[in-house]
Amino acid sequence: MEFIDLKAQYQVGRDNINARIQAVLDHGQYIMGPEVEELEARLAAFTGARHCITVASGTEALLISLMALGIGPGDDVITTPFSFIATAEAIVLLGATPVFVDIDPATCNIDPTLIEARITERTRAIMPVSLYGQPADMEAINAIAWRHKLTVIEDAAQSFGATYGGKRSCNLSAIGCTSFFPSKPLGCYGDGGAIFTSDDQLASAMREIRVHGQSRRYVHTRIGVGGRMDTLQCAIVLAKLDYFEWELSERARAAASYDALLSGKIGMVARPRDRSSVFAQYTVVVEQREQVRAALQAAGIPTAVHYPVPMHMQPAYARWSDARSAPVANAMAARVLSLPMGPYLDDASIARICAVLLGAAGAAPASCPKD
């Protein structure tokens, strides 16, 4: 069993993907070829944002977004401690200070009720993460940002395709950033990412920063980076977009199958009704995680932990935080366990995973209520 089955995914799109790759090899425009603009137009339309700027990775998307806002030394950026390290990394790389606001234990996303107390005159932006594929509480976060004139950057690296209040993730705030890392819900076959915004000025700044701050050839009006997504990777995402909606429905099917077998029997990440997840991960909450993990491993079932050490507890980030600053994140980091997930995970496999999981977690067998 695979944790995420990328080979099955390739087989479904194989002819289309191969043809798209061949087309790039034939025209030879490997950097900023026609597929780059084609993909940007398709993705912008998909999310509803006015602009899409493809970039080299999800990390680069976060970095370029912060650069476009002019964030640097002396600036604070509020974020969650419970994410992949790239979120905080982009902030500190620019010399800004990450301010880690604890998470809601139900959803594992940043707790909006704790944000305002951490805003100071140094605060410039809020960077929530839509963890496990489920949007953070963006309406509450946007309202806080509006009151304090801050910019909200959604780290939507795991949530491309998810919705919140009927709108797509990546178009829920001033800026949205996603990743096309192969195992993300919409992945390429290498590194890639994209930034979304409906602000024309920010978009043109981001486009310049992506190519070394160049406004015209060899005229550098800003400090930029080498941050382009290459044409081949864009071509692959274009091919995969053709069956992405179907994949999303299969992800929802797999999650519903898990739900049916697990709800009420094991701790789960809450999923409020006003949003939908794309299940980048299907994550449960268990005590004695390492024993449960070992039992699954012994049954040939791969699992993962997202994330075992919150960012504020990482050695390199110690100076920006202390161990007491996010107790909920610390508690969840010891308990979360991600199960195999993806559009190609069949219901028989899910049934087997759940049987082993419930056995190992010591859950009571399914009861037959008499009422």
Ligand X SMILES: *Cc1c(COP(=O)(O)O)cnc(C)c1O
Residue ranges binding ligand X (CB under 6 A): 57-59, 83-84, 86-87, 129, 155, 157-158, 179, 181, 191, 193
275 vs 356, which CB is nearer to ligand X? 275
Joined tokens for residue 196: 């979304």
Report which residue's Cβ sits closest to ligand X: 58
136 vs 354, which CB is nearer to ligand X? 136
> Smallest distance, Å, CB 200 to ligand X?
25
59 vs 123, which CB is nearer to ligand X? 59
CA distance 37 to 54: 9
60 vs 208, which CB is nearer to ligand X? 60
> Smallest distance, Å, CB 222 to ligand X?
22
> Smallest distance, Å, CB 371 to ligand X?
43
CA distance 249 to 255: 10
Which amino acid, 105? P
87 vs 142, which CB is nearer to ligand X? 87
> Smallest distance, Å, CB 308 to ligand X?
14
Residue pair 157/138 in contact (Cβ under 8 Å)? The answer is no
176 vs 193, which CB is nearer to ligand X? 193
> Smallest distance, Å, CB 66 to ligand X?
13
119 vs 136, which CB is nearer to ligand X? 136
> Smallest distance, Å, CB 368 to ligand X?
41
> Smallest distance, Å, CB 157 to ligand X?
3
